[in-house]
Amino acid sequence: MPKDKLTVNFRFRERLNKMPGGKHHNYCYQCSACVAVCPAARFNENFNPRQILLKALLGAEDALIGENSPIWLCTNCYSCYERCPQDVRPIEVIIALKNMAVEKGTAPTNLAKLSENIAETGMSVTFSSAVKRRREELGLPELKPVPLEELQEIIKDDKKE
Ligand code: SF4
Ligand code: SF4
């Protein structure tokens, strides 16, 4: 058997199929239209949504949801969603992969802190009095209060599923 034989990890693909947004990875025909509109790919040579989709088609679990995966470089801008001719919705596949990484415990630790902040305050970054003062100096409007109870109810319901 040749050493470089490629084996598709169908088990990983089946798991990805079951994640919300994951199953559309099957439709990718590698045209690169998503790369052409991707701001993250333009500014970072380590990020390429077509390559992420190729790895998903191969079931490359370690490359996609292991430590140092490039999926975290995606800015969630949704440009690829609009451009993809195959309705792959690359951003949704990437979000599905991020959720798999969280389940596996390989997501970057600073993201866990952001999630905790959202659950506790409704904001990803703590809003200090210095930030408030700076906003006033810049003439920015006051931020509207976050509907924290509503948000926490949603989080609670989501954990039940
Ligand atoms: S995700 Fe869509 S746009 Fe990107 S390579 Fe696949 S088919 Fe093309
Ligand atoms: S959502 Fe992510 S992958 Fe899609 S175009 Fe934006 S940065 Fe690129």
Domains of the chain by start residue, with CATH = 10-104 (1.10.1060.10), 109-160 (no CATH)
Instruction: Please report, to the nearest 10 degrees, the dihedral formed by the alpha carbons of residues 93, 21, 125, 137 taken in order.
Output: 90
Nearest CA to ligand 1 atom 2: 84
* pLDDT for position 3: 67
Report the alpha-carbon angle 96-59-76, nearest 5: 30
Mean pLDDT over 32-38 rounds to 98
* pLDDT for position 21: 96
CB 30 within 8 A of CB 48: no
Q: Is the pLDDT of residue 80 over 70?
A: yes
Q: Is the pLDDT of residue 24 over 70?
A: yes
* pLDDT for position 160: 60
CB 122 within 8 A of CB 146: yes
CB 97 within 8 A of CB 107: no
Rounded CA-CA distance 48/41 in Å is 5
Q: Is the pLDDT of residue 57 over 80?
A: yes
Atom in ligand 1 nearest the alpha carbon of residue 90: 1
CB 50 within 8 A of CB 91: no
Which residues are CB-contacts of 73 (< 8 A; sequence separation ≥ 6)?
40, 44, 46, 47
Q: How confident is the model at residue 161 (pLDDT cuts 50, 70, 90)?
A: low
User: Tokens standing for 150?
Assistant: 């509503």
* pLDDT for position 1: 53
State in Å: Cα 32 to ligand 2 middle: 12
CB 88 within 8 A of CB 27: yes
Output 18 or 115, whichever has higher pLDDT. 18
Nearest CA to ligand 2 atom 2: 74
Rounded CA-CA distance 65/145 in Å is 35
Q: Is the pLDDT of residue 14 over 70?
A: yes
Q: Is the pLDDT of residue 118 over 70?
A: yes
pTM above 0.85, yes or no: no
